[in-house]
Chains A and B, each alone.
Chain A
């Protein structure tokens, strides 16, 4: 049973380019979450999605960031016109659909570097 899969592991972009980060949840999990970790800080919640629905995007920056979790395929976190401040580790997590289980299973993350 594969864990949460994220790709790419490392992504280098120049300022103004677009970054696309992918996440496939664990088998049987229908809830996906994106977190961001800036250097020397803890993880910060960005967005919570279920299939074809954004449930909570209260942690997403108002501009340039978007997320989706289509009916088929992985969840995508998209950052348009990247700036140096977007450099961070982006972690995806998933959880099963039932219960009040707050335990999340995290992927290994995508390290985004903006030059």
Chain B
């Protein structure tokens, strides 16, 4: 039962263009969503998050959009840089279930110079 899904295993974009990573969820109880970035042989690093009371959160080049009716969120990276090449994980949680994050399978982003 995959409650958080990232249907694109990989994405390749040109440096300077926009990267859009998508994530779908099924559990309507989720009210907090996070994106993590992971380089090989390292642990996931927190990137950006959004509460279900918002539909957009922006931090520099990174913006997360939440569409609750569609149970869909996306991460936009603009402009994309080669150093952004990594695996991106979407995660969701229910307030009160502190630390119990449900992760998607990940999307490998490659930004070509």
- Asked if A and B are interacting partners, one says yes
Q: How many A-B residue pairs lie within 8 Å, measured between CB atoms? A: 68
In angstroms, how far is the closest chain B Cβ from the Cβ of A31? 6
Contact status B43-A109, CB under 8 Å: yes
Stretch at the interface among B58-66, B76-84, B96-104: B96-104
Bound CA span A85–B35, Å: 28
Q: Report A-chain residues with C-beta under 8 Å of the C-beta of B32.
A: 102
Contact B99 A95 (CB under 8 A): yes
In the bound assembly, the distance between CA atoms of A44 and B3 in angstroms comes to: 12
A4 to B4, CA, bound (A): 26
Instruction: Say yes or no: A42 contacts B106, CB within 8 Å.
Output: yes
Residue B41 is within 8 A (CB to CB) of chain A in the complex: yes
The answer to whether B98 touches A105, judged by C-beta atoms less than 8 angstroms apart, is: no
Chain A positions 20-38 with a Cβ under 8 Å from a chain B Cβ: 31, 33, 35
Partner of A103, one of B34, B43, B97, B105: B34
Q: Which residues of B contact A (CB under 8 A)?
A: 4, 6, 32, 34, 36, 41-46, 49, 89, 93, 95-106
